[in-house]
Amino acid sequence: MKRVLKDFFTTNFIKALLGAIGLSGLIIVAATVSAAAQKKYDTGASDTEIKIGNIMPYSGPASAYGIIGKTMGAYMRMVNDNGGVNGRKINFISYDDAYSPPKTVEQARKLVESDEVFLIFAPLGTASNAAIQKYMNTMKVPQLFVATGASRWGDPEHFPWTIGWQPNYRAEARIYATYILQHHPKARIGVLYQNDDFGKDYVLGLKDVLRDKYDTMVVASVPYEISMPTVDSQVVAIKSANPDIFVNIGTPKFAAQAIKKIAELGWHPIHIMTNVSASVGAVLKPAGLENAAGILSAGYQMDVTDPQWDSHPGMQKYRAFMAKYYPEADRSESGPLTAYNTSTALIEVLKRCGDNLTRENVMKIVANMDFEINTYIPGIRIKTSPTDFYPIEQVQMIKFTGEKWELFGPIIDGHAE
């Protein structure tokens, strides 16, 4: 009797066990199928990593910007140390294009076709990005948060895979022109500009506001090529036209040369300079801080040299990051903060993508952004729509004291209807 009972219980126990295993197996299979159905990946994204490509001028005439790429690499190391994005590590691949468009094309093809990145993030330079814009859109790979303010990056109708980040140059120039008309309506203006889309966008912005006054107010408009070693002769030519206002539309190396040359000439015009060259460490220090005193520009991110932001939580977090991940960087350079801010935005976008890591979903997310980054001037908001691919359109005028930039006036929207 005992044996019969034992056999009975053993048989039923085994059946129950097999049943339970079968059931749990089905649950596991169902869960796996469900998870697989929820996760969507394009090339460059997987359960474990997201490959991000980047192109930066680590050498050449715009090598001062190289610190931006280095800071981005440091930021991605921090993200990975903290568990990555939704459990996935960032594989950040950054190449040098020496600010040469043909080289940019070569590096973009390498990133997309050989490295098989998910997207290209913050490639720097107007001419460089123009050279790859059609390719990126043909390949349907996001050209995300392009590190140039040319107005051409906000054209979702023709280039749905390209989006800029910073306030566009044309809008920035409109703000300078508005300031000139309000405070110096009868001034004579001399313009130094880089002879490419970068420089020409600013000239268009000045024309947008000055309109028929442009030809009478602008008494000298002198271009320079990035292949030139210096802009000294251009500055001398502009001074000879005797303008009251000097508009310095130069990238860092050339902007610094112009500041220095103006001082050497003993010339004291009202000096307005582009935001891209507003770095104290990369531009104003090499030019001589005393020579830069009084320069006007426009800003949208906090100035790393301004003590008013020292107690701000965003700035404290940024400085802690720099101390740990990039301690050798010059603390007075604005480039690292620029990189930190755009990297913050990229990670925010990737987080919002969740497990739908398709390129199409990335562009859907970036076409519907509305948030603030706590190292921008309070009140500056990142906002886009499917028809508005200009994430930042507000700036505030700034003046260099000889030590730091000071904000003045209201936050101005440079958006043009």
Element (H, E) at 34: helix 2-38
Question: Could you write out the three-class secondary structure of 369-417?
Answer: CEECCCCECCCCCEECECCECCCCCEEEEEEECCCCEEEEEEEEECCCC
Mean pLDDT of 143-167: 95
Instruction: Look at residue 194 in the predicted model and tell me its pLDDT.
Output: 97
Q: How far apart are CA 46 and CA 245, in angstroms?
A: 54
Mean pLDDT of 7-35: 49
For the beta carbon of residue 358, count every other beta carbon within 10 angstroms: 15
Contacts of 150 (CB under 8 A, 6+ apart): 126, 129, 130, 164, 168, 169, 197, 198, 201
28 pLDDT more than 60? no
What is the residue-averaged pLDDT of the chain?
A: 91
Q: In this structure, what is the dihedral angle of CA atoms 157, 138, 98, 68, given to the nearest 10 degrees? A: 60
- Dump pLDDT digits (tens) for 235-268: 999 999 999 999 999 999 999 999 999 999 999 9
- According to DSSP, the residues that pair with 146 across neighbouring strands are 164
Measured CA to CA in angstroms, residue 395 lies from 43, 165, 176, 323, 392 at distances of 37, 13, 11, 28, 8
Q: How far apart are CA 202 and CA 191, in angstroms?
A: 10
3-state helix, strand, coil in the chain (%, to 5): 50, 20, 30
Instruction: Look at residue 151 in the predicted model and tell me its pLDDT.
Output: 86
Find the length of the chain. 417
Sign of the torsion angle spanned by Cα atoms 350, 356, 361, 365: negative
Residues 381, 370: contact at Cβ < 8 Å? yes
Of the candidates 340, 347, 403, 405, the residue with the CA atom closest to the CA atom of residue 375: 340
Token pair 């001074």: residue: 239
Instruction: Look at residue 23 in the predicted model and tell me its pLDDT.
Output: 52
Confidence of residue 416 (pLDDT cuts 50, 70, 90): low
For residue 167, give the DSSP letter: P
- Radius of gyration in angstroms for the set of CA atoms belonging to the chain, rounded to a whole number: 27
Residues 94, 68: contact at Cβ < 8 Å? no
pTM of the entire predicted model: 0.81
Q: Does 33 or 160 have the greater pLDDT score? A: 160
